[in-house]
Structure 1
Amino acid sequence: MPEKPSTRTAAIARQGEVMREFMARAVLFQEAVARSGGLNGSDLQAVGLLLSEGPATPGELAARTGLTAGGAVTAMIDRLERAGFVTRTRDENDRRRVIVSAVPEAVMGRVGHVYGRVAERWNEYLDTLTDEQIDFANEFLVRAARLNQEETEALHGAARP
């Protein structure tokens, strides 16, 4: 008769299922938010990266998003600029370089209400947790995000000739 898996083994397997569900729902949510703001998901993620990591050259933005430098990133920046989500300026130290910056007011004006609603609901849940549980959750999500970033970078590197 096969051995029954341990409680820990079962919990780890369940965590894998929960993480897959969470990631799928997060991607679908981001796509819905993007559409509600008149964008596609990749464009919204690029704006999000500009907001969180700061302004970038088109090449740096391409590296952050995994797009090819040149046509794809230029087309994305063009769309975002037309929509008012980003601006392009010349680098003060090197006038040949272009710097792309997010326009936070435009982003918040278009999709901020959605994130505000989710934050309110999430904060209601967080109020039910202990400080230790919140600290654990923060560490868990930081590590998950870092692992995802590393694996994304590895996949982007593997895709390049």
Structure 2
Amino acid sequence: MKRIKLLDREFKLSIPFEQIDGAIAKIADKMNKELSDKDPLLVCVLNGSFMFASDLMRKLDFPCQISFVKFSSYRGTETTGNVKEIIGLTEKIEGRTIVILEDIIDTGITIQKVLEELSEFNPKALKVASMLFKPEAFTGDIEVDYVGIEIPNDFIVGYGLDYDGYGRNLPDIYTVVE
């Protein structure tokens, strides 16, 4: 197994890009069937979702727009429990179908905050797409409409996910070695 080191941590390969790409293709297929006549606005939650959003957009075969918001609840490898908005949405979303793009949903704190913020602007529908989902860590009661891969409750990096800002550029996903 391929291993890498970021800062003071070692990580081992857990999800190769080919598997990631296949999961994105399945999400895109489902969206192509369900959203082609909805004129959706995709809302990418930065920083981690930029790779997922980019690869997903190339697989969608209907007109859509994309925008970006930035929320944060992590410091190092732990969630802080506090979500703060850093960059907000500027597009008008009232009456539109909105699809929030997340890199990963673990506790659900960040996605819950995003949903609360966006629902105040009266969208027609709010949907959630996440490349990765940690069911063991999830404490929310929201529905995740599009899930790429379910994973264990391990700390991971790569494919947009980071450890203190490092590792986002890796095409594969790696799990921390304890």
TM-score, structure 1 normalization: 0.31
- Higher relative helix content: 1
What is the TM-score normalised by the length of structure 2? 0.29
Larger Rg, first or second structure (1 or 2): 1
**Greater RCO (CA < 8 Å, at least 6 residues apart):** 2
